[in-house]
Amino acid sequence: MNNLLFPLTLALFATPGILFSAEMKSSKTSAAKDALECQPGEISACGLPSNVVIDMSKARVQRTDEEWKKRLTPRQYQVARQQGTEPPFQNEYWDHHADGVYFSACSDTPLFDSRDKFDSGTGWPSFTKPIEQALVGETTDTSHGMTRIEVHCNVDGAHLGHVFDDGPGPTGRRYCINSASLRFLPRAEYNAWVAKNNPAPAK
What's the pLDDT score for residue 31? 43
Q: Map out the domains of the chain with their CATH numbers.
A: 25-42+58-197 (2.170.150.20)
Q: What Å distances lie between residue 74 and 48, 152, 160, CA to CA? A: 18, 19, 16
Predicted confidence (pLDDT) per residue in 1-27, tens digit: 555 554 555 455 443 333 333 333 333
CB 195: neighbour CB atoms within 10 A? 11
Task: Tabulate helix, strand, coil % of the chain (nearest 5).
Answer: 25, 20, 55
| Annotated active-site residue in 46, 106, 153, 176 | 176
What's the pLDDT score for residue 39? 52
What's the pLDDT score for residue 50? 83
What's the pLDDT score for residue 42? 56
Q: What is the pTM of this model?
A: 0.80
Query: Running along the chain, 203 residues long, what does each successive block of 10 average in pLDDT?
Result: 52 40 35 50 73 75 92 97 93 97 96 97 95 94 89 96 93 96 98 87 62
CB 11: neighbour CB atoms within 10 A? 11
What's the pLDDT score for residue 10? 46
Query: Does 106 participate in catalysis according to the annotation?
Result: no
Cα separation, 203 vs 188, whole angstroms: 25
What's the pLDDT score for residue 202? 60
What's the pLDDT score for residue 25? 34
Q: Residue 17 contacts by C-beta under 8 Å, 6 or more apart in sequence?
A: none
